[in-house]
Chains A and B, each alone.
Chain A
Amino acid sequence: MSTAATTRPGDEVVIHRVVEKPMSTRRRVGIGVAISVLGLLSLLLGHNAQAHDARFDLSQGSEFFHVPDLVLPVAATAYVIGIILLAVGAYQAVRGFRPRGLRIAGTGIGALFMLAFLSWAASGGKGSTIDLLGVLENTLALAAPLILGALAGVLCERSGVINVAIEGQMLAGAWAGAMFGTLMGRFGGVLTALVAGALMGWLLAVFAIRYLVNQVVLGVVLNALSLGLTGFIYDAIMQPNANTMNTPQVFQPLQIPVLSKLPLVGPLIFDQNIIVYLMYALVILIQWGLFHSRWGLRTRAVGEHPKAADTVGINVLRVRYVNVILGGAIAGLGGAFMTLGSVGSFTKGITSGNGFIALAALIFGRWSPKGAVAASLLFGFAYELQTLLSLVAPPVAIPSYFLAMLPYLATIFAVAGLVGKVRAPGADGEPYVKE
């Protein structure tokens, strides 16, 4: 460590400049074409529209003032959006957005296309109203466990331990939440869910860090263990005594005074149950902590280059233990959301692949908390869309299975680098052994 922080003559000054590699022509044009295809699709939707208007319900009735329904002329909306998308696509193909601009444009494009799509969907049948606020509320409810699971993954993988066991950790949390939530009250349930998830995380940590077991193998095995154990306990004691073992009280939404009365965001964000509020806090805390706190810097250092971190005196293994166990607890909370926050009872394998979608969200969100939240919301929306389309009966039936595939396909595209390469933390999955 040098004592002086200022540069003296003769010191070598290294200036780091982040140079963005220009996008290859092929990718630029490819993305432009993809956007244009969405535009053409919008035009097609406009052409296919049946009813004249689509109605979107945006209020719940408890706001300060009533938000009027949004009524859009279907065909015109879809045509206008189609033309906008074609123009944006052409610009991207010819000139190209910068990466940051492309991300913003991408969000806008997605939102516009969804508006056209939903208008079209609502125009089928009797031109039914879409409860847009309800759709968004359900999206958040479906995304909540995904967000918590993905945050668990962020903690583990940023410190260099691959977490394929999110599913198992969530399952343990869901089980503990339901069983101990019935026995000890729902707050006891949340607490034990955190502990159960942390225990699963601890197993992952011990075997990965101490016994150097391959972490993907470990994740798969821990998932099987969790599924077996919780299934066993469910069959052995919970199901025969369902009334005394498997009927936790569900958390009701808590309205935040004033804020919950705001139009749109009020009912959507500030009228949720306590686990969701905990989730908000965790998202903010982890996003801030990872990039602005000593813990975050250490975590990232250990995940990118453990040897260098060790050299400057960071206890690599301890950082990893702490992060993996904390991650397990957060995934456990995600599981508890399912039993204590929405369903109200545990069944075998209740997480049904949510842990793997959370893993997908983590990867799709490029291992960042912010990205993971965005990806989880997107995947939650894809889920909700399945329900919605079965309710409103669009002019052309779309099998829900294809919508269910979207998160997985999106993740494959993301890792294959078709929409910008995603890169894992440098030492993710590599055990650290001090020489």
Chain B
Amino acid sequence: MTEVAAPTSALPEPGGPDPAAPVRRRRALGDNTIVVTLLAFVAAMVVGAILIAFSDPATRSASAYFFSAPMDTLRAAASAIGRGYAALFEGAVFNPTTAARGTVAGIFGPISETLVSATPLILGGLSVGLAFRAGLFNIGGQGQIVAGATCAGYVGFAWHLPVVIHLVVAIVAGMVGGGLWGALAGWLKARTGAHEVITTIMLNYVAVNMLGFLLSVKGFQRPPYGQAISNVVDANARLPHLLGSSLRVNAGLFLALLAAYAIHWLLTRSVLGFEFRAVGANQNAARTAGMSVERSYTRVMLIAGVLSGLAGVTQILGTNSAITGDIDAGIGFDAITVALLGRANAGGTVLAGLLFGALRAGGVQMQSSTGTPIDVVSVVQALIVLFIAAPALVRFLFRLHGSGAGAGQGLAKGWNG
């Protein structure tokens, strides 16, 4: 309570020159967002390690006689944690065993998986982050991704256009689909004051059910109409692979990086971005300065929707080849954590997306080689964000001083705000 209560008390401490020096050093550390982020990561990985040990049968059976031979339990736990995190690393960055084969897939396979997972997360994170900057909370990533993937996928399998043109048209269709779905929430807020958190959550479910319906309609559903899966996207409309067909990494990555640059430019260099930030910082001031707050709600949600729609595009034109009910794959919600970890700026979001992409890719490897459930990754992700959102807790855990506010604080207000 006491530490966070005064967010502006980062003034230098008055008093003698030296006795406060260690305190000041610790305060400087505690105020540094990078340090706090790293410590949050460490704390979350520690909890993850406990879970890995817990899920290890050897550790559990050794813990039955913990009090007679405690070292057995600790040794088994240490070995399980070591194997688990080694597998995570091998799945996400570099696997010496497969690399020894000398093939491209063996060497770059893990990195490729990380980038494939990171691509939609970056796009989704940019979407949530942009809305944050304008003071809006976009929980509608799921719906926008579904809308984007549905439109892009439909153009991808129902239309038959020449090379390049087909891909471009499909991407644009996805952007339009996601954009409109996002703009709907922004427009409702501008027009009626309906809180975007409520409307975006509800629109998620509307989109998912709409997709469920489409997947039961002939012309959309793939023959012989037994499964809820769409037709296959034409080869012309697919995002090209970057490192040969043996690796899944595709041009969607460029889309994500391009979008990140565009958002960076938008927020720091353009009039529109300035307007968004002004509205996010202080609505009343923005209105007094002659900006239309309502119009910016619609616009920012439109662009946020376009970004989420692009995440859907990379899902359907890059990673998968047909639409299924879970085309969103939880990205809409993970994107929120990515945006928070990335502190709602473009560069940070790219890094956060890569980190979470690596965790996802590594988690798959960990599950298959050590049997540790992949859910440990969701726990670690949630904890990282929980810790960085409450820097006071991290500072308390690591005995640092400081007073910075957490990520996502003071952005979206209450339901009536």
Binding site for B on A (CB under 8 A): 157, 160, 162, 164, 207, 210-214, 216-218, 220-225, 227-229, 231-232, 234-237, 353, 356, 359-360, 363, 399, 401-402, 404-405, 408-409, 411-412, 415-418, 423-424, 426-430, 433-434
Q: Which residues of B contact A405 (CB under 8 A)?
A: 205-206, 209-210
Q: What does the 1/0 interface line of B35-54 toward A look like (CB < 8 Å)?
A: 00000000000000001001
Q: Which residues of A contact B206 (CB under 8 A)?
A: 405, 408-409, 412
Q: Which residues of B contact A356 (CB under 8 A)?
A: 201, 205
Q: Which residues of B contact A227 (CB under 8 A)?
A: 375, 378
In the complex, A216 Cα to B407 Cα: how many Å?
Answer: 12
Q: Which residue of B lies closest to A430 (CB)?
A: B414
In the complex, A426 Cα to B413 Cα: how many Å?
Answer: 11
For the A-B complex with A213-B408, A224-B382 known, give 12 more contacts whose Cβ atoms are closer than 8 Å.
A211-B393, A216-B137, A217-B407, A221-B382, A221-B386, A232-B376, A234-B373, A356-B205, A399-B213, A401-B209, A412-B203, A412-B206
In the complex, A227 Cα to B377 Cα: how many Å?
Answer: 11
Q: Which residues of B contact A217 (CB under 8 A)?
A: 137, 336, 340, 385, 389, 407-408, 412
The B interface is mostly helix, strand or loop, or mixed, namely helix
Let me know if A360 and B202 touch, CB within 8 A: yes
Let me know if B322 is at the binding interface, CB within 8 A: no
Q: Which residues of B contact A430 (CB under 8 A)?
A: 413-414, 417
Interface residue ranges of B119-142 to A (CB < 8 Å): 137, 139
In the complex, A217 Cα to B406 Cα: how many Å?
Answer: 11
The stretch among B22-30, B89-97, B154-162, B190-198 that forms the contact with chain A is: B190-198
Q: Which residues of A contact B281 (CB under 8 A)?
A: none
In the complex, A358 Cα to B412 Cα: how many Å?
Answer: 22
Q: Which residue of B lies closest to A401 (CB)?
A: B213
Let me know if A235 and B373 touch, CB within 8 A: yes
Let me know if B416 is at the binding interface, CB within 8 A: yes
Let me know if B67 is at the binding interface, CB within 8 A: no
- Of B51, B202, B383, the contact of A411 (CB 8 Å cutoff): B202
Let me know if B98 is at the binding interface, CB within 8 A: no
In the complex, A405 Cα to B118 Cα: how many Å?
Answer: 31
Q: Which residue of A lies closest to B381 (CB)?
A: A224
In the complex, A220 Cα to B411 Cα: how many Å?
Answer: 15
Let me know if B213 and A402 touch, CB within 8 A: yes
Q: Which residues of A contact B385 (CB under 8 A)?
A: 217, 221
In the complex, A434 Cα to B1 Cα: how many Å?
Answer: 10
Q: What does the 1/0 interface line of B348-392 toward A look like (CB < 8 Å)?
A: 000000000000000000000000110111110111011001101
In the complex, A151 Cα to B177 Cα: how many Å?
Answer: 36
Q: What does the 1/0 interface line of B287-318 toward A look like (CB < 8 Å)?
A: 00000000000000000000000000000000
Let me know if B188 is at the binding interface, CB within 8 A: yes
In the complex, A426 Cα to B415 Cα: how many Å?
Answer: 9
Let me know if B416 and A423 touch, CB within 8 A: yes
What's the minimum C-beta distance from A435 to chain B, rounded to whole angstroms?
9
A412-B203, A428-B414 in contact; A216/B197 too (CB < 8 A)?
yes
Let me know if A412 and B188 touch, CB within 8 A: yes
Q: Which residues of A contact B337 (CB under 8 A)?
A: 220-221, 224
Let me know if A232 and B375 touch, CB within 8 A: yes
Q: Which residue of B lies closest to A164 (CB)?
A: B197
In the complex, A218 Cα to B415 Cα: how many Å?
Answer: 15
What's the minimum C-beta distance from B389 to chain A, rounded to whole angstroms?
5
